[in-house]
Amino acid sequence: MARNVGSLEAAHASVKLLVAEKLKYLVPMTIVFMTSYIGLTILAGFAKDLMGTRLIGSLNLGFALIAFNYLLSWGLAIVYGRIAADRFDPLAARAVADIARSGEAK
């Protein structure tokens, strides 16, 4: 019985570690895409002339920033997939193993 409770607590501790690890990556990544996208809408609303700055021919800064946001979203998706597989999945597996041990002890 004591081992059972101990493993459950170990599982909860592993999850806390996992949540902390997730926050470490997801908070900055969320800030990046929200700043980039909401920032773009704010610029569109309040800085039209800046958005109209010509870059190449008739292509202006606004369209370039829109294109950048597409690339950023796709890039973040791939990066997230990597981080999740390398960092989150092993920690989740550890918590599951802890739980399995508590199940055996029953």
Partner 1 sequence: MNPTLGIFVIILLITLGITYWAARRTSTTADFYAADSQLTACQNGFALAGDWCSAAAFLGFTGLTALYGMDGAFYALGPLVAFCTVLFLIAEPMRNTGKYTLGDIIRSRMQTRTSLLAAIVGTVVVNFAYLMPQMAGAGVLVRLLTGISYDWAVVFVGISMIVYVAFGGMLATTWVQIVKAVLMLSAGAIILVMILSLVHFNPLTLFAETEQKYGAKYLLPGNYLKNPFDQISLGLGYTLGLAGLPHVMTRFYTVPDAKTARRSVVWVMFLAGAFFAGTTIFGLAAADFVGQDVIRAADRGGNLTLPLLAQYLGGGKGTFGGDLMLGFVAAVAVATILAVVSALTLSTSSAIAHDFYVNWVKRGLVEVKQEVWLARAAAVVIGVLAIALGILAQGVNVAVLVILAICVAASANFPVLMLSLFWRRFNTGGVVGGMAVGLVSSVALAMIGPAMRGADALWPLVNPTVVSLPLGFLGAVLGTFAWGRDEENEQRFDAFLLQVHTGVASK
Q: 3-state SS string over 3-69?
A: HHHHHHHHHHHHHHHHHHHHHHHHHHHHHHHHHHHHHHHHHHHHCHHHHCCEEECCEEHHHHHHHHH
- Among the listed residues 1, 2, 56, 86, the single contact to partner 1 using CB under 8 A: 56
- Among the listed residues 6, 10, 40, 105, the single contact to partner 1 using CB under 8 A: 40
Using CB under 8 A as the binding rule, whether residue 2 contacts partner 1 is answered as no
Using CB under 8 A as the binding rule, whether residue 59 contacts partner 1 is answered as yes
- Among the listed residues 8, 10, 101, 105, the single contact to partner 1 using CB under 8 A: 8
Using CB under 8 A as the binding rule, whether residue 64 contacts partner 1 is answered as no
- Residue 21's identity, in one-letter code, is E
- Site size toward partner 1 (CB under 8 A) is 50
Using CB under 8 A as the binding rule, whether residue 99 contacts partner 1 is answered as yes
Using CB under 8 A as the binding rule, whether residue 29 contacts partner 1 is answered as yes
Are 16 and 98 in contact, with CB atoms under 8 Å apart? Answer: no
